[in-house]
Amino acid sequence: MQQPVQIGITGGIGSGKSLICRIFHVLGVPVYDADSQAKKLMTTDGILIHQIKKEFGSLSYDDKGELNREWLGKTVFNQPDKLARLNALVHPRVAADYNQWIVTQSGAKYCLKEAALLFEAGSFQWLDKIIVVAAPDALRIKRVLQRDAHRSKEDLERIIQNQMPQEEKMSKADYIIKNDESELVVPQVLKLHEWFNSMK
């Protein structure tokens, strides 16, 4: 059976990646959510757990073997080198997990891999096409403040500062979905869905 076309979908925090992936999912498209899988693998993947403990110490996990997210979050907070080290451990394990997943999707015409750091982590190079979801910073901040009670405007500004600028992401995209209230999102998704289904 033919291997599905592999489409990456990315965008800055609050751009609307998850919302748009839910629309593709409703259309029957298999979606791999790399950010959720990364969180899951940090508590289920033996190799990754071992590497995190080795790099960050035994405090990274509690007595029950649960990831000490708060502690780890504080440890890497505002320390780009430590965050980069954590990402360097997590990304290869997510890539391995994705590679196992994609071989189970041979019936699909195309699949989506959703990831906030698709460009930053380098995984874009293994994908056939990339969609960037774009929305202005102010709108993204407004939406995330409504979604996440625990986050402040300053937190979000800091996160945006640490992500690849949206303009740069857009310049690397094969397709852009505008989620800035200037265009309806569903017709943009339907148009891409039709296009990907017609790809050879």
> In the complex with ligand ATP, which residue's Cβ is closer, 39 or 109?
39
> In the complex with ligand ATP, which residue's Cβ is closer, 60 or 179?
179
As measured in angstroms, the least distance from the Cβ of 129 to ligand ATP is 18
As measured in angstroms, the least distance from the Cβ of 23 to ligand ATP is 10
> In the complex with ligand ATP, which residue's Cβ is closer, 109 or 178?
178
Alpha-carbon distances of 43 from 37, 69, 102, 129, rounded to whole Å? 10, 10, 22, 31
Contacts of 76 (CB under 8 A, 6+ apart): 82, 83, 86
| Coil, helix or strand at residue 106 | coil
Residues that bind ligand ATP (CB under 6 A): 11, 13-19, 116, 143-144, 147, 179, 185
> In the complex with ligand ATP, which residue's Cβ is closer, 112 or 116?
116
Q: Which helix (H) or strand (E) holds 1?
A: none
CA atoms within 13 A on the CB side of 77: 8
Judged on CB neighbours under 10 Å (0-12, 13-18, 19+), 71 is middle
As measured in angstroms, the least distance from the Cβ of 179 to ligand ATP is 5
> In the complex with ligand ATP, which residue's Cβ is closer, 18 or 60?
18
Residue 173 DSSP code: -
As measured in angstroms, the least distance from the Cβ of 21 to ligand ATP is 8
As measured in angstroms, the least distance from the Cβ of 15 to ligand ATP is 4
Rounded Cα–Cα distance for residues 41 and 44 (Å): 5
